[in-house]
Chains A and B, each alone.
Chain A
Amino acid sequence: MTVLAIETSCDETGVAVVRNGTVLSSLISSQIRTHAEYGGVVPELATREHLRNLPSLTRLALESANVRPADIELIAATRGPGLPGALLVGLKFAQGFAYALGLPFLGINHHEAHLYSAWVRGNPARAEFEVFRPNVSLIVSGGHTLLVHVRALLDHCVLGETVDDAAGECFDKTARLIGLSYPGGPQLERMAKGGNPSAYHFPRPMLEDDTNDFSFSGLKTAVAYFLRDHPDVLDDPEKRRDLCASVQAAIVDVLASKTVRAAKRLRVDTVTVSGGVACNSSLRHALTMGCQQAGLTLRVADSVFCTDNAAMVGLLAELKAAHGTPPTDLDAEIEPGWSLGDGDKVECGG
């Protein structure tokens, strides 16, 4: 089956063509430069950029996959969660394409697509669903922090999520407090290199809490108070590195510890990680160590599939179609607040 997939949930325009589990093309047009001067994603500008980018990016994705529109058998697009305007243009573009060719259309949950991006490997990249193992999956990005029990392909339940800021949001906001440029997370990671992660102690919110939920807004506040009381830290390059390393350690510690703990409790043998923050090398290292000690296999999504991309949307759509998921109505609307597992936390137990 040949699938054309569109992803526009935030500030990356993504278009991909996948066929029988293999990614034929996956293109991303980043809007980082557009949003940099505002210090964060401006939803209205993101929407305008998606509208400008979609036609040319789709043409390029089809050309680089050597696929004609007439070869496409299924159209998929992210339906939510995400920024309403951004989701809208991607969804309607995909629906328009599907209608013109009389093709089935599938609206995909962005988080559900992330659950499977760690299973995409190789060159050309392909979904290794044949080696799928039940797992605990950490989805961690600028907008989301979720811990999910993936019991089988297309069968999952949410174990926990952030009750306030996402981990990536905490990276970005503390980076801004420190005076780093946008996007703050990667800048903070860069500055943390060579710093002492134990130099300053910041709280590990909800680390000892029995639930699988996260909270990062208190950590951000702790950094703000620390800088109020120790403004000189920013003037010293070494102390600045120590500060960045200490903040990063606090975030990473919570994410890695709670993920490994959930996997052990549920007696799964595999942990997967995806989302923009999964590109953070300190988090990858902490999870690698934690999983090794616990005898767990760790699968981290390749960096190109960590961040928002359409390939994961297309691969999930193909998987769903193969499992008999009926097409989504063409007049289906966006679902900006689409939760991955409404009400499944109780059932999940974890």
Chain B
Amino acid sequence: MDQPIEPAPCDAVAHLQWMLRARLLEERLSSLYRQGRIPGSVFTGRGQEALSAAIGMQLRPGDIFAPLIRDMAGRLAFGLPAIEAARTYLGRITGHMRGRDGNVHHGLVDQGMLPMISHLGAMAAPCVGILLKRKITGALVAGDQCVAVVCIGEGGMQTGAMHEAINLAAVERLPLVVVAANNGYAYSTPSHQNFVCRDLVDRALGYGLRGWSCDATDCRAAWQTVAQALAAARSGDGPQLISARLLRLAGHGEHDDAAYIDPALKAAAVDCLDQGRQLVLDQGLLDQAELAALHTTIKTEIDAAVDQALGEADPVASDESWQIFADPILAAGAGAQA
């Protein structure tokens, strides 16, 4: 444990592209929300894209990803088509959730991306269960294990569900990576009213697992920290806890003006997207014109996806089967009202 780990190199342009896709998609969705075209609300990961994209990009087929509310970048990088995100927000019948669930509650179950439920901490134990099942069936390859990444905030870290799941993963020594994005506020409640330890990474010691801490507004730090934690988990080092410091550059949802955020924090805030742009310029990977062209290309791609979803059909209540059972015997014979 605790041997130094060489992080996988970061393709700064690719990283920026996933961040930008998420930002532009969420800006478009927020705009639709303000037009009254999206039921409920829209929840963005503004300011958290560097961390989220670093996760989605570094996961492989066979890995498990349990993204949270602010992980559009990770979802897209993991393989979610932008149109699926739009379909779910719009509640379209064409989407995976078919209007039965919405906003950020979607996934790609067969590809290992779990569709979150709203209850914070609730996605960690299913990740542990998948890894445990694979351990039991001999599907974890020694030295190069598949991993499960569960994303959570500093607010969600205070749930009993997270404690139980992390501890179970530790007891079974499973390749679970917990990414705790401490964005300063759990809805309106500042971090100091959620926990009083110096850094959430300190909890790793209590669980007997390895911890990592980073400033996740820094694209390179976010990438490298995720890379190191993933490598450690794959190698058989057991669960890993990442504490990532950043700031939510938006409300909890688009219905929330976030007036409660400390003005000093706002003034000092670093936008990881700006930092990512500067990085590719400084490294000479793109020039200003190429950066502008990239923006235009991605904007066009996102708008096309959202426009297509806008043109698709809503669910029709009279066509809904209201079928609650998957089992064919129950579905066929158990009676609709029962």
**B partners with A:** no
